[in-house]
Amino acid sequence: MATVSDIEILADPVGFTAGILGHDIWRIPAQILESVAKNRRTAVKSCHASGKTFSSAEAVIWWITRYSDGIAVTTAPTWVQVQKLLWGEIRKSLPTSRIMYPKPLGTELKLAEGNYALGLSTNEGVRFQGFHAGHILFVLDEAPGVDVAIWEAIEGASAGGDVHILAIGNPVIASGPFHEAFHENRERWATFTISAFDTPNLAGISLTYADKDGHRVTLGSGRDLLSLSEEELDQAVRPYLTTRRWVRDKFYEWGPGHPLWDSRVLGTFPSQAEDALIPLAWLEKCQQCDPTVGVSLSRDSKKLRAGLDVAGPGEDETVLVVRDGPGIIFSQAWMRADPRGEVVAALKQYEGRLEVINVDSAGIGWNMYTHLDDIFPGIAHPINVGESSHDPEKYANLKAELYWGLRMRAQAGDLTGYLDEKLVGQLAGIRYKHNARGQIVIESKEDARQRGVKSPDRAEAVMLAFAQHELPYGLTAYLEEKIEQIDAERLQRMRQMADKLATGLNRPKIETVSEGGKEPTKGCPECGALCIQPVCTGGKRCGACGNQFDESRSDFKPMNRTTLFK
């Protein structure tokens, strides 16, 4: 039988985690739990390893214990995050609790009929709508990556009953419902921001630097992080949370102004530079893609492609990347001056399966290329990214062309696999601009160095691994064609729908008209799609249906974009 003090402790989530779960809770997570109890909507943007998932698990266990009709539904961008991370913390907390809980079955902890916690994947959107009775708590871990459809379903479910939401995560994407909770929808949410300098291991530590406009910025207060001894860097009252050493290392690796510094260290939305080649948000999405999509899982497939960036003067690492389709399957970096032996050994494990090894052959890289050419004849291929591009109107050099291709891949989610934090950090730090001739130029390593950015060797190796030099009209044209193809398919579907509609309404089919005397855009004579590419053999090819044709043919049928959408 519950006593008055039991009921009191159940009403107080902080007392519950300390007194019942036996957790050692610190100031900010305590405020978050109090907010979950009090407010319908709580949003927390927070730095790396600040106990976000841990606090979410505490909130879930408290909620279903507090309310006998309590239901807690958790989700995250990927199933692994739901099952392993949040539910991992739930499973870890139960055995030491002073209340006996049943063992969770998968991602379900059932206390009684209508009183349970459930972990759902975001593929199960429709299931989020099925909760109407009792006290309901929705928990979104790594909330910026959770699908908009899930947010909408949860909002729908919140219309009636006592529904609370905890959305918590690293603020990596500066748009979408999580971002809105801190901006246009702010009055509806109780919000928290946790910087690494607010966490226990950095209490009494500060960091001062000049921002890009030369203004002095100080984070935290107390002793200067950069003056700490090695021993002091390792001091941690809570070793499981963000450490001083980690923040110091990230200051040197990313530094202020880098989107990952903003989100992972300061817990703020990335102030993405407008000239960032690949926005962090795209890379985050790529990290969440299924790494096996488009990847051949057969060990016999002979379509692996490698990229090797060779450390030049002032650069740290020689980096090898191997990819299978869109997925990076291997990546290794060497700090040694001449790691030829190690590179060959790493490549040997893929011998017979490699289609090409693109070697950065500028300067010192030439030796590496000739060495690899001896060992892997016909497969090693030299690439000097300083040379001119296939499309000099558009790109200042090959480097710009290849990086632009990588950007398009990242945008389309066609870059998956082994995308570690260091690589993502380097890719997100690359900048581009247009020169006086209007060509795209990638920021030089020297300019980047002046901003305090180290040589992005891993990003270069990835760019080389994705270089498609054997295509007749360059990588970008190839990728553009792919993207246009998707557009064209959509256009074609819309056109068919419009035709059907017209037939149904007994109206004439869509006619092709020329507007205001302008020459209409010419479409494919076969399917009418607009994605027409010139082919190297002469004539044109349709990106949608593959039809090759000659515009001089009598059956050529011009189309106008506006007529398609009428």
Residues that bind ligand ADP (CB under 6 A): 23-25, 48-54, 89, 240-241
Nearer to ligand ADP, 249 or 351 (CB): 249
Q: Which of Mg ion, ligand ADP, none lies near 240, with the C-beta cut-off 5 to 8 A by kind?
A: ligand ADP
For 494, list phi and psi in degrees, rounded to 5.
-65, -40
**From the CB of 171, what's the least distance to ligand ADP, in Å?**
12
Q: Which of Mg ion, ligand ADP, none lies near 173, with the C-beta cut-off 5 to 8 A by kind?
A: none
**From the CB of 267, what's the least distance to ligand ADP, in Å?**
10
Q: Which of Mg ion, ligand ADP, none lies near 74, with the C-beta cut-off 5 to 8 A by kind?
A: none
CB 319 within 8 A of CB 336: no
Q: Which pair of structure tokens corresponds to residue 415? A: 């870059």
Q: Which of Mg ion, ligand ADP, none lies near 267, with the C-beta cut-off 5 to 8 A by kind?
A: none
Q: Which residue is nearest to Mg ion (CB)?
A: 53
DSSP β-bridge partners for residue 552: none
**From the CB of 454, what's the least distance to ligand ADP, in Å?**
25
Q: Which of ligand ADP, Mg ion, none lies near 164, with the C-beta cut-off 5 to 8 A by kind?
A: none
Q: Which pair of structure tokens corresponds to residue 328? A: 């990076």
Per rule CB under 5 A, count of chain residues that contact Mg ion = 2
Nearer to ligand ADP, 23 or 164 (CB): 23
* DSSP letter for each residue of 259-277: HHIIIIII-S-----TTBS
Nearer to ligand ADP, 50 or 107 (CB): 50
**From the CB of 328, what's the least distance to Mg ion, in Å?**
23
CB 265 within 8 A of CB 225: no
Nearer to Mg ion, 52 or 495 (CB): 52
Q: Using CA atoms, how far apart are residues 517 and 32, in angstroms rounded to an integer?
A: 64
Q: Which pair of structure tokens corresponds to residue 428? A: 């997100």
Beta-strand pair 327-334/223-224? unpaired
- Neighbouring C-beta atoms of residue 329, cutoff 10 Å: 16
Q: Using CA atoms, how far apart are residues 83 and 235, in angstroms rounded to an integer?
A: 32
Nearer to Mg ion, 53 or 563 (CB): 53
**From the CB of 240, what's the least distance to Mg ion, in Å?**
12
Instruction: List, in sequence order, every beta strand (DSSP E) within 30-87.
Output: 41-46, 70-75
Nearer to ligand ADP, 200 or 520 (CB): 200
Q: Which of ligand ADP, Mg ion, none lies near 24, with the C-beta cut-off 5 to 8 A by kind?
A: ligand ADP
Q: Looking at 52-60, 171-179, 448-456, 512-520, which segment touches Mg ion (CB under 5 A)? A: 52-60
Q: Which of ligand ADP, Mg ion, none lies near 523, with the C-beta cut-off 5 to 8 A by kind?
A: none
Position 52 contacts Mg ion (CB under 5 A) = yes
Nearer to Mg ion, 141 or 460 (CB): 141
List CB contacts of 187: < 8 A, sequence separation 6 or more.
Answer: none
The long-range contacts involving 432-436, CB below 8 angstroms and separated by at least 24 positions, are: 432/275, 432/277, 432/400, 432/403, 432/404, 433/275, 435/396
- 3-state SS track over 421-442: HHHHHHHHCCEEEECCCCCEEE
Q: Which of ligand ADP, Mg ion, none lies near 565, with the C-beta cut-off 5 to 8 A by kind?
A: none
Q: Which of 17, 53, 93, 199 binds Mg ion (CB under 5 A)?
A: 53
**From the CB of 48, what's the least distance to ligand ADP, in Å?**
6
Q: Which of ligand ADP, Mg ion, none lies near 50, with the C-beta cut-off 5 to 8 A by kind?
A: ligand ADP
Nearer to ligand ADP, 28 or 368 (CB): 28
**From the CB of 171, what's the least distance to Mg ion, in Å?**
13
Q: Using CA atoms, how far apart are residues 270 and 203, in angstroms rounded to an integer?
A: 24
Q: Which pair of structure tokens corresponds to residue 283? A: 């890379």
Q: Which of ligand ADP, Mg ion, none lies near 251, with the C-beta cut-off 5 to 8 A by kind?
A: none
Burial letters for 419-435: b for 16+ Cβ neighbours within 10 Å, e otherwise? Answer: beebbbbbbbbbbbeee
Q: Which of Mg ion, ligand ADP, none lies near 23, with the C-beta cut-off 5 to 8 A by kind?
A: ligand ADP
CB 89 within 8 A of CB 117: no
Quick one: which of 542, 403, 527, 544 has its CA closest to 465? Answer: 403
Position 409 contacts Mg ion (CB under 5 A) = no
Place of tokens 């064609």: 481
Q: Using CA atoms, how far apart are residues 285 and 193, in angstroms rounded to an integer?
A: 23
Q: Looking at 49-57, 290-298, 460-468, 480-488, which segment touches Mg ion (CB under 5 A)? A: 49-57
Q: Which of ligand ADP, Mg ion, none lies near 54, with the C-beta cut-off 5 to 8 A by kind?
A: ligand ADP
Q: Which pair of structure tokens corresponds to residue 108? A: 């379900």
* DSSP letter for each residue of 98-144: SS--PPPBTTEEEEETTEEEEE--GGGGGGGG---SSEEEEEEETGG
**From the CB of 266, what's the least distance to ligand ADP, in Å?**
14
Q: Looking at 53-61, 318-326, 425-433, 503-511, which segment touches Mg ion (CB under 5 A)? A: 53-61
Q: What 8-state DSSP symbol labels residue 546?
A: -
**From the CB of 375, what's the least distance to Mg ion, in Å?**
44
Nearer to ligand ADP, 96 or 123 (CB): 96
**From the CB of 298, what's the least distance to Mg ion, in Å?**
35
- Helix (H) / strand (E) element for 307: namely strand 304-309
**From the CB of 25, what's the least distance to ligand ADP, in Å?**
6
**From the CB of 335, what's the least distance to Mg ion, in Å?**
31
Nearer to ligand ADP, 91 or 371 (CB): 91
CB 283 within 8 A of CB 442: no
List CB contacts of 312: < 8 A, sequence separation 6 or more.
Answer: 362, 363, 364, 365
Q: Using CA atoms, how far apart are residues 195 and 181, in angstroms rounded to an integer?
A: 18
Q: Using CA atoms, how far apart are residues 267 and 48, in angstroms rounded to an integer?
A: 8
**From the CB of 88, what's the least distance to Mg ion, in Å?**
10
Nearer to ligand ADP, 169 or 177 (CB): 169
Nearer to ligand ADP, 90 or 310 (CB): 90
Nearer to ligand ADP, 32 or 419 (CB): 32
Burial letters for 377-402: b for 16+ Cβ neighbours within 10 Å, e otherwise? Answer: eebbbbbbbeeebbbeebbbbbbbbb
Residues at the interface with Mg ion (CB under 5 A): 52-53
